[in-house]
Structures are given as structure tokens and as C-alpha cells.
Amino acid sequence: MIPSAILESALYVTDLNAAEHFYTDVLGLTLLGKVDGRHLFFRCGPGVLLVFNAEATKIPPAPDAKLKVPPHGAVGEGHLCFAASAAEIDGWRTHLQAKKIAIESEFEWPQGGRSIYIRDPSGNSIEFAEPRIWGL
């Protein structure tokens, strides 16, 4: 058996309100679900981006919980990369500059393809890259 795709990816943040603003108003993702103080779920193409309050997800579920999701979390700056064509990367650069979001890094990969990097409000590294950087 081999997994066919990644269905969801998670980032951990310290400020859910700032994250909600960033991922909806800056990146344009659609909010699918939200539990105040715990998480935000966003649609991204065929997948889902989960944004968690890192402290809230460390708490194990109650014995009588309907959803017995095991505790999880991460400390420090995470990373997520969104796929973008060369033209889309140019569009993202313009859009992010208009939104006053600093581009931390931009470069061409030796194997071909470009990436730009920004930070979300919690310091997570957010990348936009051409899929060909992975031969896709």
C-alpha cells in the first residue's frame, strides 16, 4: 500500500484571530470550520489546511469525547508550500506586496523552478513554488 495523496496538512499558531485574517484575507482561502481557541480549517484546492492553536491540541480528548483525536502539536516555525505556476508566482509577489507582506526569500532552484517565501503571523514559513522543483 502507498498513500495516493496528502489530504490535509497542519500548521500550529499562537494567534488564531491573526491566522484567520491572514489565511482568508491575504491568501484568499475559504474557511471550512472553526472552533474558537482551538482550530481553523481551510479549503485549499482538493485538500484542507488545518491551523491549530498549538497549546489546545496538546490536551488529550475526554474519555467520553465523540471524536477521539489523539493529542498533537509542534513547537517552533513550521513550513508549508503552496503549488504555483511561474505566472502565479509573479501574481503572488504583486499581491503580497500590495498587502504589505514581506517576501523573505525568492530564488531559482538548481533543478529548475522558482520559489518565494513569506511568514504567517505566527512565524511559519509559507512558500509558493513551481511543482517542477520536485519534478512534478
CA angle 70, 74, 78 (to 5 degrees): 135
pTM here is 0.93
Per-residue pLDDT at 132: 95
Per-residue pLDDT at 24: 98
Comparing CA positions, the residue from 95, 28, 88, 20 lying closest to residue 53 is 20
CA gap 104, 132 in Å, rounded: 21
DSSP, residue by residue, 22-63: IIIIIT-PEEEEEETTTEEEEEETTEEEEEEETTGGGSPPPT
Which of helix, strand or coil describes residue 128? strand
Which of helix, strand or coil describes residue 99? coil
Report yes or no: 23 and 119 within 8 Å, Cβ to Cβ.
no
Per-residue pLDDT at 129: 97
CA dist 88 to 47, 63, 100, 130, Å?
Answer: 19, 47, 18, 9
Per-residue pLDDT at 65: 87
Low-confidence residues of the chain: pLDDT under 70: none
Per-residue pLDDT at 3: 84
